[in-house]
């Protein structure tokens, strides 16, 4: 299940975000966490299973759009569908919003087998329909 990020989960969130290539360096990681803390339109969610928190998803909310900036799953839980579950849960939370990938999340979202009517706009790139 998705839970909203708060400071109590900072180290866990940073660990999960560090699996993203752009977040390997500590300074970038601290900047990213700080942005999610301070910017109202940026939201960070964690995915919790029985054994604990295993994933993180970071979004930017703009009008009727969800811009997917970060999505990361603990390596020991990959290839089990948790990334797809996180995206589906986001769409349930924001049913009236259009999901748009960034350049770094586009390839992942293209692989998902979501409903055909879901249309996503790749930010500054081509439209993606999945």
C-alpha separations of 122 from 4, 50, 104, 108 in Å: 25, 34, 10, 12
Q: Is the pLDDT of residue 120 over 50?
A: no
Pairing state of beta strands 65-73 and 119-121? unpaired
Q: Which range, of 17-26, 31-40, 78-87, 116-125, averages the lowest pLDDT?
A: 116-125
Question: What are the phi and psi torsion angles at 78 (to 5°)?
Answer: -75, 160
Q: Regarding predicted confidence, which is higher, 21 or 122?
A: 21
Domains delineated in the chain:
2-97 (3.40.630.30)
In this predicted structure, the answer to whether residue 124 has a pLDDT above a threshold of 60 is no
Which residues, in sequence order, are bridge partners of residue 100?
67
Judged against a pLDDT cut of 90, whether residue 117 lies above it is answered with no
Q: What is the mean pLDDT of the chain?
A: 87
């Amino acid at each position: 299940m998705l839970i909203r990020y708060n400071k109590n989960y900072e180290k866990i969130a940073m660990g999960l975000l560090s699996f993203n290539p752009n977040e390997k360096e500590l300074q970038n990681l601290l900047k990213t966490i700080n942005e999610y803390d301070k910017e109202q339109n940026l939201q960070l969610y964690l995915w919790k299973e029985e054994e604990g928190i295993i994933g993180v998803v970071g979004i930017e909310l703009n009008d009727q759009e969800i811009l997917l900036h970060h999505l990361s799953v603990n390596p020991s839980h990959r290839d089990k569908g948790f990334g797809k579950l996180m995206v589906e849960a986001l769409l349930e939370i924001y049913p009236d919003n259009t999901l748009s990938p960034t350049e770094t999340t586009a390839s992942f979202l293209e692989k998902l087998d979501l409903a055909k009517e879901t249309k996503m706009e790749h930010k500054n790139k081509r439209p993606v329909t999945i």
